[in-house]
Structure 1
Amino acid sequence: MPIVSWSDEFSVNVKVIDDQHQEMLDIVNNLHTAVEGSEDKEVLEKLLIDLNEHTRTHFATEDALMKQYNYPGYEEHLHEHNVLLQHLGNLVASVTQGKSPTFRSDYDVSSDWVLIHIFKSDKELGNFLNNQGVY
């Protein structure tokens, strides 16, 4: 069962960002299912690497848009991205080293962070981009 399902309330009204957010939530849901199902380390590691790679790609997309349109909140937004990437890197390293974090203690930080980031920072970015004619 998904921990979070995409809904229009998550939309930032910029197609490329919304599409990537949906993919990210799918990976988070798959990761949640794997953790709750006590999947092997290799499965968790692959899902975390997928999430990490997808997140890096997504952040690069946002970064390019923020630079292209001179987003005034760029530095703060970039800092939030770097914090999550550090967290994801730590999770990948932990699982690679054989640790088995539980969803509630570690992975929920990723899903909670994603939702908080979407509702606050990405909505602000979406509004800014929409005012620049980007949808």
Structure 2
Amino acid sequence: MPVIQWEERMSVGVYLIDEQHRELVGLINAIDHAVDRGAGRDEVSRYIRRFYDYTTTHFKTEESLMDHATYPEYFTQVREHLDCSLKALEFHRRFVEESDFDLKAFLDYIVAWFINHTVGIDQTLADHLLKRGLQDRMR
């Protein structure tokens, strides 16, 4: 069973962002699946790195759609994105350097962060994009 499942409440109504969110859900589940089946450290490391790389790409996409002058949560969003990216990078570093790294703690963190972020502040982004007429127009 997947560690996280896509739910419509995570949607912001912009096709590109929602597809990227679905991809992140898939990456989180891929990490969990690799751990469950006892994949080697190299494979798990590649998944963690891919998750970090993809979050960076996704956050740039979201931030490119934000208008910092009219979106009141702009700086909060950017800070949360930066915090997540840095945490993922730190987890990756620790996984590579520490033989007893706690992958469950990493998975717990990214699952909780993703859910809280998408159903929380990302919903303010959805409202902002709706006001700017960008929802459902970015296919």
Q: What TM-score does the superposition give when structure 2 sets the normalisation length?
A: 0.89
Q: Deviations over 1:80-106 (max 9, x none)?
A: 011101110011101221434344322
What is residue 49 of structure 2 aligned with on the other side? 49
Q: How does 1:1-135 map to 2 (within 5 A)?
A: 1-67=1-67, 70-135=70-135
CA contact (8 A) 1:69 1:132 kept: no
Residues 20-45 of structure 1, C-alpha deviations (whole Å, 9 max, x = no match): 00000000000011122222110111
Equivalent position amino acid for 1:28 in 2: I
CA distance in 1, matches of 2:129, 2:69: 8
RCO higher in structure (CA 8 A, sep ≥6): 2
Contact 1:69 1:129 in 2 (8 A): no
The Cα shift of 1:114 comes to 0.6
Distance 1:84 1:95, change over 3 A: same
Say if 1:27 and 1:45 are closer, same or farther in 2 by CA, change over 3 A. same
- Whether contact under 8 Å (1:63, 1:78) holds in the other structure is yes
Specify the SS of the correspondent of 1:82.
helix
Are the counterparts in 2 of residues 45 and 96 from structure 1 also a CA contact under 8 Å?
yes
TM-score by length of 1: 0.92
RMSD across aligned positions (CA): 1.6
Secondary structure of 2:33 counterpart:
helix
Q: Which structure 1 residue ranges, 5 or more long, are not aligned? A: none
Secondary structure (helix, strand or coil) at the match of 2:101 reads: coil
Q: Please say which of residues 32-41 and 92-101 is displaced more in the overlay.
A: 92-101
C-alpha distance 104-98 of structure 1, shift in aligned 2 (>3 A)? closer
Paired with 1:26 and 1:108, the residues of 2 have a C-alpha distance of 15
Q: Cα gap change, 1:51/1:85 in structure 2, threshold over 3 Å: closer, same or farther?
A: same
